[in-house]
Amino acid sequence: MIVLNTIRANMLESFRIEYVFLIARRLLRMIEKIMFKTFRELLIVCLIVQLAVGPIWACAWDYDTLTMERLEFPDALELITGKFLRHSSEFYEWRIQDRKQKLEQDPSVLAYYDDLAVAYDKTDQHQMAIETMQAKNAIEPNQYETEANLGTFYIHAGQLEQGIEHINKAIAINPEAHFGREIYQQDLVNYVRLRQKNGKTVLPLRSQFSEEDIFDWPVLNFNDYILKVHAVPDSDGNPAVKDQDEELRKALKGILGMMRFGHNDSPILLEALGDLLSARSLHLGHSDGYLGGKQLAARAYLKASYEVDDEKAKQAYRILAEKSLQLQLESTLGGFARQELSLNTLESSFQKELAEAKAWHNELHQNELQWIESGVDVDAAFTQKYYEEATPLGNYANEIPPPREQGFIDIVTKSIIILLIVLGGAAIYFAFRNISLSDDLSIKSQKKSNSPE
């Protein structure tokens, strides 16, 4: 009996050891599965957290604040909003009368013809502007200023063919005048003509496509058109632009010049400006990547949407503005997190900028009205007030706070916190599982010891 009990005790002990090993093996397998699942879930959680706080690495290659953009493209915001030195319609009415009197007294001063013609053009009297330039051309033909003005006036009158003809003459006379502005004026007119349907201009221009876009060099916007027309064959005979950045900057300078000396509220000029500013091939010197002035581009498209009457065109320009803001970031959660800059946020700031520009120009307008009423030489008064004093334009109140930079330490800290939370949860889970397994083993052991032999 004693021997039998001893054998039975040894067998029970062996069974318990095997059972423990079996449970341990199952437990290890379960831990392996749980840890794999936990690691997978940890990766998902990390991705979700990173998406929630914003694209961390976006700023490394595609984050540029409005301040940086204004450093790269000076005067762009002022030209978009209208906060720059420009005369009122009353001033140009005054100048028409003043220059007509001066020409009656001395018709040999050719500069008076230019002043008079520009004043006519600024008051939408395009035909009178053209006739004034033709009169000047009859006195002394083939002058650069005459041909450049005639080209501009014909374009403003909607007579693009005649406009291009005179712009070409101006370029032939002096291709470097006005920093080559007429070259890009010619490009813009040809781009408009390419986009016309049945002789009509439909906005936005980039919404119109031709067979050339499909079967030739794709031209989706003005930026593409500039790179196409200024491409030259490379060593392999393929058309290419040697320095895209330089070419686009010259085109940008030309468009800004047209806005300053022409009509800054033209939706065509604003769209062309937006296309150039949003070009990814336009390099910002303050960044490591190829960007553009995307927040400025969005403002240009928004301003274009304000200047058109057609509702479909308005919405199309707003969509272009919204697309320009992709990967542009704004602060959330008190500056700790970031999200993509919304069009509503930018437009709220842009409306304040427009209001500031309007208030600033209203003061200039009132000064001109006062000078006209008092009978003084308005040209001289304007020169003394705004040119000689060099009145500063000041800064805009930018309502979009810059996002808080997230450095390597921020990323590591958040990742460690997430890892600790997940591991803490796993530890609690395993603790409860161990207690449950111990209880099960105790119950089974008791049952076996109490069972009849």
Residue range 322-334, pLDDT digits in tens: 998 886 655 454 4
Q: How confident is the model at residue 397 (pLDDT cuts 50, 70, 90)?
A: very low
Residue 409 CA: distances (Å) to CA of 256, 352, 406, 415, 422: 42, 37, 8, 10, 20
Tokens 């949407």 belong to: 305
Q: Does residue 126 sit within a domain?
A: no
Asked whether residue 215 carries a pLDDT value surpassing 90, the answer given is no
Whether 68 and 49 share a structural domain: no
Q: Which residue has the higher pLDDT, 373 or 70?
A: 373
Q: Does residue 379 sit within a domain?
A: yes
**Averaged pLDDT, 390-415:** 51
pLDDT at 406: 46
For the ranges 94-98, 173-177, 282-286, which has the lowest average pLDDT? 282-286
Q: How confident is the model at residue 175 (pLDDT cuts 50, 70, 90)?
A: confident
Tell me which range, 247-256, 385-394, 408-417, is most confidently predicted by mean pLDDT: 247-256
pLDDT at 428: 72
Whether 374 and 335 share a structural domain: yes
Q: Does residue 145 sit within a domain?
A: no
Tokens 């961390």 belong to: 56
Whether 437 and 342 share a structural domain: no
Contact 151, 165 (CB under 8 A): yes
Whether 297 and 314 share a structural domain: yes
> What is the rounded distance in angstroms from the CA atom of residue 39 to the CA atom of residue 17?
32
Longest dimension (CA), the chain: 146
pLDDT at 452: 54
Asked whether residue 213 carries a pLDDT value surpassing 90, the answer given is no
pLDDT at 421: 80
**Averaged pLDDT, 156-168:** 94
Whether 65 and 10 share a structural domain: no
For the ranges 81-95, 137-151, 278-292, 322-336, which has the lowest average pLDDT? 278-292
pTM, entire model: 0.71
Q: How confident is the model at residue 154 (pLDDT cuts 50, 70, 90)?
A: very high
Q: Does residue 142 sit within a domain?
A: no
Whether 13 and 71 share a structural domain: no
**Averaged pLDDT, 65-74:** 54
Asked whether residue 167 carries a pLDDT value surpassing 50, the answer given is yes
- The parent domain of residue 273 ranges over 58-86+175-405
Whether 8 and 47 share a structural domain: yes
**CB contact set of 310 (below 8 Å; sequence gap of 6+):** 203
Share of the chain above pLDDT 90, in %: 47
Asked whether residue 14 carries a pLDDT value surpassing 60, the answer given is no
Q: Does residue 155 sit within a domain?
A: no
CA proximity to 167, closest of 152, 178, 188: 152
Share of the chain above pLDDT 70, in %: 62
Asked whether residue 18 carries a pLDDT value surpassing 80, the answer given is no
> What is the rounded distance in angstroms from the CA atom of residue 285 to the CA atom of residue 72?
8
Asked whether residue 72 carries a pLDDT value surpassing 70, the answer given is no
Asked whether residue 187 carries a pLDDT value surpassing 80, the answer given is yes
> What is the rounded distance in angstroms from the CA atom of residue 285 to the CA atom of residue 352?
28
Q: How confident is the model at residue 450 (pLDDT cuts 50, 70, 90)?
A: low
Asked whether residue 412 carries a pLDDT value surpassing 80, the answer given is no
Whether 393 and 428 share a structural domain: no
**Averaged pLDDT, 31-42:** 51
Q: How confident is the model at residue 28 (pLDDT cuts 50, 70, 90)?
A: low
Asked whether residue 60 carries a pLDDT value surpassing 50, the answer given is no
Task: Please write down the long-range contacts of 284-289, taking CB distance under 8 Å and 24 or more positions apart.
Answer: 284/64, 284/68, 284/69, 284/72, 285/72, 286/64, 286/68, 286/71, 286/72, 287/61, 287/64, 287/68, 288/60, 288/61, 289/60, 289/61, 289/62
Residue range 238-292, pLDDT digits in tens: 777 778 888 998 999 999 999 998 899 999 999 999 999 987 545 444 333 334 5
Whether 440 and 370 share a structural domain: no
Whether 318 and 244 share a structural domain: yes
Whether 418 and 301 share a structural domain: no
Domain count, the chain: 2
CA proximity to 325, closest of 278, 284, 268, 280: 278
For the ranges 14-28, 112-126, 207-221, which has the lowest average pLDDT? 14-28
Q: How confident is the model at residue 366 (pLDDT cuts 50, 70, 90)?
A: very high
Average pLDDT over the chain, rounded to whole? 76
**Averaged pLDDT, 17-29:** 52
Q: Does residue 151 sit within a domain?
A: no
Q: Does residue 125 sit within a domain?
A: no
Tokens 């953009």 belong to: 69
Helices 267-277, 244-261: axis angle to 10 degrees equals 150
pLDDT at 423: 75
Whether 300 and 358 share a structural domain: yes
Domain end, chosen from 405, 426, 442, is at 405
Q: Does residue 166 sit within a domain?
A: no
